[in-house]
Amino acid sequence: MQQFQWLPEFETGIDVIDSQHQRIFEYLLEVDTAIRMQSHESIKEVVHSLIDYSISHNAFEETLMERADYPILAAHAKVHEAFRNRALSYEHRIENGEDCLKVAKEVRSDIGLWLTNHIQRDDKDYVPYVKKSLEGGFVSRMKKRFFA
Ligand SMILES: [Fe+2]
């Protein structure tokens, strides 16, 4: 099985985003462990957590992009929406009684690859916009605090 792990080149420099991306890679490792243990209960639980967390993370990113007036937010959100539909379809397959070991193997490869590509292409693109908007907020808060 191809291993998916967080690498320094995935760093965006936006701490909150980097720690969320790292958490998703931790969930991927937890899925691998559950697959190795062949524990159906753990597999179901950790696959659910991985999917749930990834969808929340994408929504969080969209909030930051919106705040930053990111010009291609709509396109990025479409990519997230397609991911969401695919991720939820895995959950439905498990709920409908499909072999969760088989589904979990697909989930870890699909989400692992998706995340690796998405971080390096789509996410990297919004970084300067979001960074700027976060800095702006910080600077204006500091100004109010010191010069009000
Ligand atoms: Fe994204």
pLDDT value at residue 111:
94
Q: How far does residue 121's CA lie from ligand 1's centre (Å)?
A: 9
Structure confidence by residue, pLDDT tens digits, 72-93:
999 999 999 999 999 999 999 9
pLDDT higher than threshold 90 for residue 66 = yes
pLDDT value at residue 117:
95
Q: How far does residue 143's CA lie from ligand 1's centre (Å)?
A: 31
The pocket of ion ligand 1, defined by CB under 5 A, consists of 61, 123
pLDDT value at residue 89:
97
CATH superfamily of 15-147: Hemerythrin-like (1.20.120.50)
* Global pTM value: 0.89
Structure confidence by residue, pLDDT tens digits, 89-114:
999 999 999 999 999 999 999 999 99
Q: How far does residue 107's CA lie from ligand 1's centre (Å)?
A: 18
Q: SS3 string of the chain?
A: CCCCCCCHHHCCCCHHHHHHHHHHHHHHHHHHHHHHHCCHHHHHHHHHHHHHHHHHHHHHHHHHHHHCCCCCHHHHHHHHHHHHHHHHHHHHHHHCCCCHHHHHHHHHHHHHHHHHHHHHHHHHHHHHHHHHHHHHHHHHHHHHHHHC
Q: How far does residue 68's CA lie from ligand 1's centre (Å)?
A: 14
pLDDT value at residue 36:
95
Structure confidence by residue, pLDDT tens digits, 117-130:
999 999 999 999 99
Q: How far does residue 73's CA lie from ligand 1's centre (Å)?
A: 10
